[in-house]
Structure 1
């Protein structure tokens, strides 16, 4: 018991030492001794972002509902070409906090309805002209309940949509310059980048669709997390699309769109027709070929094997299957309803080598030739595959600068979705990549950091805390040393005391608590084994403590005289 107490004291001392060292190191790291520093959670660090730059054409964080109502206009139009009952743009838009709150006081534009047409738009602070600076469009989308079918793309409305009155008429046929963003229905996942190109020859407008992204995008429609969509279109006719600041598509306006910007120089002559005597057959049946006289078309493909012999144990008089003799008609069998009962069939046990009518096996017929057909020969009248002749394209033009699109005057969301609660946030239109990066740093980066922190395990948080507080490595080292020291002490410490206790308890010498043997005579104590001088010197003297307990009266044992040793009475 004394040994255990000493070990507990040792462990307590080590723990106190570790705690004291941690406190001292923490205080030594703080240059302002005695000053209490309050830490601020990341969710408290969010403030509605603001960028003052001549390179910004629109910013919108949707945190100010009053400012939103003054700037954004809900459409009052009707969708063209659909039933009157569903043509109205009556989907509801509201400023709300996300269902999963990430940053305090962060709000977004939410499409709260499903299976309804919805449109809302806002004028740019100033029109964007496609001249010598890139167009950068960036915004966030959170599909809070996933997305089964519907879009979450944005439209950059063309010049002509210049007033709020025009915005109230915003519908699916309103001219736009660029459409960009995610769209999904069933297993068809898209990330649109469509621009409307004006034919410089005749003024017609045609939509150009970018090639598909290089990466799979299924997760963005079902993980219910915010994602940042960025489109960069440059004056050199190149483009880049990023999701969460990672490139997913890039290319050229001239080469990576369907249909291509520039039409072909030549086209098929629509008036050219294939001549009636034009022969496109490369080979024909040989008209001079005749069927050989010995060709037998009626010979069967297989014949019986003439060398086959019926096995000796074949039973011609026995069927292959017989009724199961052990089968019993069920008690609930109703012959009127179920018909006459018949026992199920089983394999005939008498058919060792076979039963029934024996027939030899069939083998391929060596005389079989099949239906005769004349061989094919090259067609002497073959003229090749016919194709109409080429003529100059009357609509040909060459546009080497498709970047110079129709100026943009407004932005808007014109959507239909089967999933409610689509959330849009932190929209920016600029020509400065640094401004877009700063906008993302003040908004999206904070959200991702908070989400990453919330998903960290206890171990990851501990490692991160230690990385931010290097003095914790010293505390961890001291704790490790304390554990190792305790382990070594428990395994190796106090061996001498343990051995002494064992020797004392295992001795055969008469002790005060030993019972008196029957007959009244004490057992003779064996002579202890002689010990060496070194062992005797190493033997510690037993500690003596004053005996304060009440003495138990001693009694004479039966047949013992006054010279005999007194003993305690034995407990029954």
Structure 2
């Protein structure tokens, strides 16, 4: 009884498998017929209607938000750069890349406008001031926006810069790559190098010089975000306790500390190597040296060769001295297109001499070589431990004159504007739904009204929506493959294996029972069969559930009882 649930699962699995196998062709034909009929009934069936875009509504004040409602509002809010890039050629130094506020070509929502980078192989720069500067005091910084590579991405960035508030009269029309920023965040790719930047500029409290600090790489695989042509949501959260977290599509891909997970580190080392320290002339750092007292032994002969002829060797009997190991192939023929003027004289390819197959060898016999017992090779002075060894020398360390300790790197330069300063070898990069706030919950509510709807529509429009979602999920969380194997694949393998082993075992037991079991009442033997095996055959025993067939043996003076299976399998035994 314990096997019944497992057997039931086995039977159910096999039933589904067999029915799928048997009815697959029929179902395919039915689908084909239904498709033809549906096409005949609805020849001009319209595509699925896209949902109409609804602008998001913010319930709390934020430092910045833009969902690009119209081109007119964009022109009032954003400023195109008229600057030039200093280290670029004059033909491409201008920030003359085109921007447009329009509905993307593959928009998931009807009427949803976005900011689109339109031209490739050009410099682009555009920026917008915050409603009020963000001061790094007691509130977290939460930055969030969407990116979609409609044409994929070959080489270029889609990151944002949170521009530092230097003074009240910042001219955003001069925004360029040298403009001071506080944080740079977002995706970037060139070739096979896929990045998700989080860089902040830290001010040295001693010198006042700013230095870029780069966060560690995300733990998740971000490659598909540049090629799947879907809208992805990028979120950065930086907290006053110096912790940070990065999310893509609301899944955490990186987490760390401003003090511990950046290169170079915020705080320099307390000690440094003394640049003026030099190794003393008498410092001996050789662990082993050649023995100065060693002398080559008088009997050391360096002239003896390593290998010598084996004087005891003799040529094997039957060695064919006059037969070469290789001979021209007698079956080979000169190709019909062989030109001796161009290709030279034709020669048949060589093959192994068949006469050498049964002989110990062919050709000129040579005495084999053996190791020379007198060989010693070139004498070398042996190595010994260096009695003057002082260890490996390294320069001493001294207190770092530039050392400082900043335990609050979160106190960054105030942010006054947001900007995109980009170069890309791909066009149609879509940016949308920027928000800068102090609450992750506010950013999530904003995403729920924007990105979440868009994401659901893109998932339903993609071919193989469910399987594609599974694949996408495993890209973001590779450990899901282990879950799929354990939950789905492994049970199926175990069920099939159990069914196969159980069926073999049952067949074997059934065979044994067929030989050993008594004849049951269901086994029928007619009267002719009884007469064939003896006139004194017995019928069914009274009070029993087994039927026997008797055969009188005159030699043994007894009746032999047999089951029907015995009669069928061994009718001529008696």
Q: Which residue of 2 aligns with 1:427?
A: 434
CA contact (8 A) 1:119 1:170 kept: yes
CA contact (8 A) 2:64 2:436 kept: yes
Q: Which residue of 2 aligns with 1:380?
A: 387
Q: Which whole-Å CA distance do the structure 2 matches of 1:417 and 1:443 have between them?
A: 26
Q: Which residue of 2 aligns with 1:405?
A: 412
Give unmatched runs, 5+ long, in structure 2: 1-47, 468-574
Q: Kindly indicate whether residue 279 of structure 2 is the aligned counterpart of residue 274 of structure 1.
A: yes
1:270-309 matched pairs, under 5 angstroms: 270-309=275-314
Equivalent position SS for 2:174: coil
Distance 1:373 1:161, change over 3 A: farther
Give the structure with higher Rg (CA). 1
Q: Which residue of 1 aligns with 2:35?
A: none
Q: Which residue of 2 aligns with 1:482?
A: none
Equivalent position SS for 1:136: strand
- Superposed displacement of residue 418, structure 1: 1.1
Q: Which residue of 2 aligns with 1:53?
A: 60
- Superposed displacement of residue 422, structure 1: 1.0
Q: Which residue of 2 aligns with 1:249?
A: 254
Q: Kindly indicate whether residue 102 of structure 2 is the aligned counterpart of residue 74 of structure 1.
A: no
- Superposed displacement of residue 343, structure 1: 2.7
Q: Which residue of 2 aligns with 1:101?
A: 107
Q: Which whole-Å CA distance do the structure 1 matches of 2:208 and 2:290 have between them?
A: 55
Q: Kindly indicate whether residue 160 of structure 2 is the aligned counterpart of residue 159 of structure 1.
A: no
Q: Kindly indicate whether residue 234 of structure 2 is the aligned counterpart of residue 229 of structure 1.
A: yes
Give unmatched runs, 5+ long, in structure 1: 1-40, 461-572
Q: Which whole-Å CA distance do the structure 1 matches of 2:427 and 2:68 have between them?
A: 18
CA contact (8 A) 1:42 1:450 kept: no
TM-score, length basis structure 2: 0.69
Q: Which residue of 1 aligns with 2:147?
A: 141
Q: Which whole-Å CA distance do the structure 1 matches of 2:379 and 2:259 have between them?
A: 58
Q: Which whole-Å CA distance do the structure 1 matches of 2:411 and 2:66 have between them?
A: 26
CA contact (8 A) 1:162 1:410 kept: no
1:211-226 matched pairs, under 5 angstroms: 211-226=216-231
Q: Which whole-Å CA distance do the structure 1 matches of 2:421 and 2:138 have between them?
A: 29
Distance 1:66 1:275, change over 3 A: same
- Superposed displacement of residue 401, structure 1: 0.5
The one of 445, 450, 454 equivalent to 2:457 is: 450
The one of 167, 192, 195 equivalent to 2:200 is: 195
- Superposed displacement of residue 450, structure 1: 1.3
Q: Which residue of 1 aligns with 2:319?
A: 314
Distance 1:367 1:97, change over 3 A: farther
- Superposed displacement of residue 162, structure 1: 4.7
Distance 1:391 1:457, change over 3 A: closer
1:82-135: CA deviations, max 9, x gaps?
Answer: 222221111111112222221111121111111111111100011100000000
1:160-190: CA deviations, max 9, x gaps?
Answer: 2755x61110000100000011111112111
Q: Kindly indicate whether residue 266 of structure 2 is the aligned counterpart of residue 261 of structure 1.
A: yes
Distance 1:42 1:271, change over 3 A: farther
Distance 1:384 1:144, change over 3 A: same
Q: Kindly indicate whether residue 93 of structure 2 is the aligned counterpart of residue 87 of structure 1.
A: yes
Distance 1:331 1:256, change over 3 A: closer
Q: Which residue of 1 aligns with 2:71?
A: 65
How many aligned positions are there? 418
Q: Which whole-Å CA distance do the structure 1 matches of 2:303 and 2:92 have between them?
A: 70
1:49-75: CA deviations, max 9, x gaps?
Answer: 121423x10001123221111111111
Q: Which residue of 2 aligns with 1:125?
A: 131
Distance 1:50 1:361, change over 3 A: farther
CA contact (8 A) 2:101 2:114 kept: yes
TM-score, length basis structure 1: 0.69
Distance 1:330 1:390, change over 3 A: closer
- Superposed displacement of residue 458, structure 1: 9.9
CA contact (8 A) 1:63 1:105 kept: no
CA contact (8 A) 1:46 1:446 kept: no
Equivalent position SS for 1:277: coil
Q: Which residue of 1 aligns with 2:447?
A: 440
- Superposed displacement of residue 385, structure 1: 2.1
Equivalent position SS for 2:234: strand
Equivalent position SS for 1:85: coil
CA contact (8 A) 1:230 1:242 kept: yes
- Superposed displacement of residue 446, structure 1: 0.4
Q: Which whole-Å CA distance do the structure 2 matches of 1:42 and 1:283 have between them?
A: 83
Q: Which whole-Å CA distance do the structure 2 matches of 1:443 and 1:264 have between them?
A: 46
Q: Which residue of 1 aligns with 2:179?
A: 174
CA contact (8 A) 1:123 1:162 kept: no
CA contact (8 A) 1:136 1:431 kept: yes
Q: Which whole-Å CA distance do the structure 1 matches of 2:292 and 2:152 have between them?
A: 68
Q: Which whole-Å CA distance do the structure 2 matches of 1:303 and 1:218 have between them?
A: 64
Q: Which residue of 2 aligns with 1:349?
A: 354
Q: Which whole-Å CA distance do the structure 2 matches of 1:313 and 1:177 have between them?
A: 91
Q: Kindly indicate whether residue 341 of structure 2 is the aligned counterpart of residue 336 of structure 1.
A: yes
Q: Which whole-Å CA distance do the structure 1 matches of 2:385 and 2:433 have between them?
A: 70
Q: Which whole-Å CA distance do the structure 1 matches of 2:140 and 2:465 have between them?
A: 45
